[in-house]
Amino acid sequence: MTGAAYAAPLRAVDRIEVLSEGPGARLVLHKTVDPDDPYMAGHFPGLTLLPAVFVLEALRQAVTTLVGADEPLNLLEVRSGRWLAPMQGGDEIRLDVTVTQAGAGHRLVTADGVRQDGTPVAAVKATLGDRDAVLAAQPPADLAPPAADGPPGPDYTGILGLLPVRHPMLMVDRVEALDPGRVITVTKAVSGSEPCYQGLPDGLPLSRYMYPRSLMLESFGQASVLLWLSTGTAEGVPVAAAFRDCRFFGEVRPGAVLRHVSRIDRLMTDNVFVSGQTWDGDRCVMTVGALVGSSRPRERVDRALTSAS
């Protein structure tokens, strides 16, 4: 699927141009948004949009290729990510990337993305790490698994009725508890039959089956949309506008049941600010400092409607 012998949702990069190597390496990445790529059919059916998290996946795949690592690099931290315009089916995305060493096993990556018409689409600062750095990362010591407070939320059919995603992009399975407008607890089971594991050759070490952190962040985002929808203020198409201070810890593999706890910190007209954590049992595997969601009229997201009018 990706040409890489590790779990990945799709081939997130079509072509890499290496402009310079060594300290301060510079790359140009190219990706055409393809509705036939894995996961894409379930993301806003009828409106092909590249998920923001797949830009993060593109950076991971490209830098892994650049350094020629035996084990894939993984996200350690998303310092900031801003998603500035929709990336629709057929769009050609260019990412200008700089990679610098940031300590043993750590690489700081900055990227600015534009569409083929010159419209800025993304600005990202993230840290990637090798496997030693992944295993060494520890969550804050004062974090404890929270209780699922509140009555249960919508069942699975209710989730289908609320979220504009479908299989295999639907990444929440059950709402354990919902305090509308305040906090939600949602579970996501990681199955070995998911598309990110298809096509992997036999005989790989267990480390290659680490669940992609881009998908974990997408799953948290979907849980947050369910919480936002409970306020009755979200209209139009809900999209990610920004991520800040997202950190990852440990490895998640098939068989895990992720538990997202998302809280609304601020609610504005057409925007929501949430934070939270993700747990695998009693292990914290991700903290989200801030996720900003934006609700946009469909004509602002679907350029085909704009051109038709």
Residue 205 contacts by C-beta under 8 Å, 6 or more apart in sequence?
none
- Asked if the model's pLDDT at residue 233 lies above 80, the reply is no
> What confidence tier does 1 reach under pLDDT thresholds 50, 70, 90?
very low
Q: Summarize the confidence of residues 195-216 as an average pLDDT.
A: 95
Q: Summarize the confidence of residues 196-212 as an average pLDDT.
A: 95
Q: How confident is the model at residue 224, as a pLDDT?
A: 97
Of 261, 269, 277, 259, nearest to 293 by C-alpha is 269
Q: What angle do CA 291, 294, 297 make, to 5 degrees?
A: 165
Comparing 68-77, 85-94, 180-189, 289-298, which segment has the lowest mean pLDDT? 289-298
Strands (E), the chain: 15-20, 25-32, 74-83, 92-101, 106-114, 120-129, 174-179, 183-189, 237-248, 257-268, 271-280, 283-296
Give the single-character DSSP code of 154. Answer: -
CA distances from 56 to 9, 23, 152, 182, 192 (A): 11, 21, 32, 28, 22
- Asked if the model's pLDDT at residue 48 lies above 90, the reply is no
53-67 and 213-229 helices, crossing angle to 10°: 170
- Asked if the model's pLDDT at residue 4 lies above 80, the reply is no
Radius of gyration of the chain (CA): 18
Q: How confident is the model at residue 46, as a pLDDT?
A: 83
> What confidence tier does 270 reach under pLDDT thresholds 50, 70, 90?
confident
**Coil, strand or helix at 111:** strand
> What confidence tier does 309 reach under pLDDT thresholds 50, 70, 90?
very low
Query: Cα separation of 13 and 3, whole Å?
Result: 11
- Residue 103 β-bridge partners: none
Annotated catalytic residue 43: yes
Q: Exactly one of 43, 106, 167, 260 is catalytic; name it.
A: 43
Query: Cα separation of 126 and 185, whole Å?
Result: 27
Query: Cα separation of 237 and 235, whole Å?
Result: 7
- Asked if the model's pLDDT at residue 203 lies above 50, the reply is yes
Query: Cα separation of 147 and 168, whole Å?
Result: 29
> What confidence tier does 304 reach under pLDDT thresholds 50, 70, 90?
low
Q: How confident is the model at residue 262, as a pLDDT?
A: 97
62: alpha, beta or left, given left = phi > 0 and alpha = psi -120 to 50?
Answer: alpha
Domains of the chain: 15-137+149-308 (3.10.129.110)
Q: How confident is the model at residue 3, as a pLDDT?
A: 55
pLDDT digits (tens, 9 = 90+) for 97-118: 999 999 889 999 999 999 999 9
pLDDT digits (tens, 9 = 90+) for 155-185: 999 999 999 999 999 999 999 999 999 999 9
Q: What angle do CA 12, 101, 284 make, to 5 degrees?
A: 65
- Asked if the model's pLDDT at residue 297 lies above 90, the reply is no
Q: How confident is the model at residue 23, as a pLDDT?
A: 83
Q: How confident is the model at residue 253, as a pLDDT?
A: 96
Q: Select the more confidently predicted residue: 271 or 23.
A: 271
- Asked if the model's pLDDT at residue 15 lies above 90, the reply is yes
> What confidence tier does 300 reach under pLDDT thresholds 50, 70, 90?
low
> What confidence tier does 47 reach under pLDDT thresholds 50, 70, 90?
confident
Q: What angle do CA 289, 295, 298 make, to 5 degrees?
A: 145
Looking at the chain, the whole-number percentage of residues with pLDDT higher than 70 is 95
Q: How confident is the model at residue 146, as a pLDDT?
A: 78
